[in-house]
Amino acid sequence: MRPAGDGDAPQAPSTPRVDTTPFLIHPRVYILETSSGAFLCPGSSLLAHDTSSPSPAFLLYPSSHPVSTVSLLPSSSPTWPTLPVSHPPSPSLTPDPKPPISPPNWQYTPEQITEAIDKVCASDKAQADELVALPEDKRTFENGVRPQIFSGGHDSWIDSPALFLQHVHPDDAIRNSSIEAEKKMTEFGLKESAREDVYKALKDVEANVEKNGEKLNSEEKRFLERILRDRRRLGLALEPEKREKLLELNTKLSNLQVDFRRALNEEKGSLLFTREELDGVPEASIDGYEKEGDKYKVTFKTPDIVPIL
């Protein structure tokens, strides 16, 4: 078996007869076994062949349909892991037209934006309440932390589109509703993250994991460490008076940030620059500026100001 560099093309065997199918070993490396030996095939492609043909053709296409198992190479080859995968090879080169998950919904009314955020906040609060309601010695990673991991992904499918509309929607009412929804959600998040009873419950989870020998992988350990760290940073290790003051300041800061973004998004002003004043700005950016006489009009929008800054 010869080594293959990342830019090498797969080499066809001297005899076109194929003994086995190609086998997926790694997202960047594939192995093809033929009557002439084994070959490495680099890149994000998978070799395919038509065994019904007297002279099989080798094709390259995206490896969205890996084979169902990995065979062992000859004893003279390096040791490769056997990796079971779930899908059989597809004879068609046409990708599956149905996506694995539905695309996000962008069709919101102002009322639906508010409802979406209220739904996410209520769900998060109910989940935290369930953790707090558990007996101290029954609080585990499985019932106290893992639900947060899954709900976070589910919630973002609902709230992310609703909150993103403030940046792109042409309707003022939609944008304003999205901005107010972000304020509400941020304030809710700060208050929930500062709940002393939830922090104590999470500390119990940490203690029970250690006490009961609950096996966590590196990502799970990191997640637990970080949610406890984030709550400490929100003041849960402080005295109640100082904690309330910190929560007040964090809420004020968050609202100021949202108001600033709203003002920036609604800003209609611009500045005029000569070609000499724009020296050093990429030509592609300058070509995109609107011209007024012999000067270039630069708005305060991100595509205009970033090349200058």
pLDDT band at 173 (very low <50, low <70, confident <90, very high): very high
- Name the residue type at position 285: S
Q: Check whether 14 has a pLDDT greater than 50.
A: no
CA distance linking residue 254 with residue 36, whole number of Å: 66
Q: Check whether 253 has a pLDDT greater than 60.
A: yes
pLDDT band at 266 (very low <50, low <70, confident <90, very high): confident
Average pLDDT over residues 171-193: 91
CA distance linking residue 198 with residue 134, whole number of Å: 11
Query: pLDDT over 70 for what percent of the chain?
Result: 67
CA angle (269, 271, 275) in 5-degree steps:
150
Average pLDDT over residues 94-110: 72
* Residues in Cβ contact with 189 at an 8 Å cutoff, skipping those fewer than 6 apart: none
Q: Which of 129, 133, 126, 179 is nearest to 155 (CA)?
A: 126
The pLDDT mean for the chain works out to 74
- Range ranked top by mean pLDDT from 78-92, 116-130, 262-276: 116-130
Q: Which of 44-48, 171-175, 197-201 has the lowest mean pLDDT?
A: 44-48
Q: Check whether 126 has a pLDDT greater than 60.
A: yes
* Class of domain 110-234 (CATH, top level): mainly alpha
Task: State the burial class of residue 294 (Cβ atoms within 10 Å of its Cβ: 0-12, 13-18, 19+).
Answer: exposed
CA distance linking residue 255 with residue 181, whole number of Å: 11
Q: Check whether 147 has a pLDDT greater than 60.
A: yes
pLDDT in tens, 50-77: 334 333 333 333 333 333 333 333 334 4
Task: Please report the pLDDT score of residue 40 as a whole number.
Answer: 43
29-66 burial: b if 16+ Cβ within 10 Å, else e: ebbbbbeeebbbbbbeebbbbeeeeeebebeeeebebb
- Crossing angle between the packed helical segments 218-231 and 146-168, to the nearest 10 degrees: 70
Task: Please report the pLDDT score of residue 101 as a whole number.
Answer: 66
